[in-house]
Amino acid sequence: MAAKFLNTALGVSNMGSLAAWGLAGSAAYVFIYLPEQRKQQDEITKSAHAAKLMRESQYVDFVNKHNDDAGKSSKGESGAKRTWWFGGLFGGGGRDKESTKK
């Protein structure tokens, strides 16, 4: 009964075709499944490493320092709002919100 099922469902009529199915399954496991597993594990490892680095005090101090510098330099020395080359297209180069309120 099992032999008839294998023959009709999977085309396994003799040991050679059974070996071919085994070889195809093994090749799919080695060339498709294992690389995907390695890629997922590498992504998990990289994200854990990045999270660890971001919690370190050096990174936090660096980000805080640069955020403070960006806030000071965005208005420049003269106090005028700094505009980027396409800032006017998206409202970045216009007047401040406070000056438009009445």
Residue 35 belongs to a domain: yes
- Number of domains into which the chain is organized: 1
Q: What is the pLDDT of residue 33?
A: 95
Residue 62 belongs to a domain: yes
**Structure-block tokens of residue 33:** 């499944």
Average pLDDT taken over every residue of the chain: 75
Domain holding 55, by residue range, is 29-66
Are the beta carbons of 8 and 14 closer than 8 angstroms? no
**102 vs 93: CA distance, rounded Å:** 20
pTM given for the model: 0.44
Residue 44 belongs to a domain: yes
Residue 98 belongs to a domain: no
pLDDT digits (tens, 9 = 90+) for 29-62: 999 999 999 999 999 999 998 888 877 777 778 7
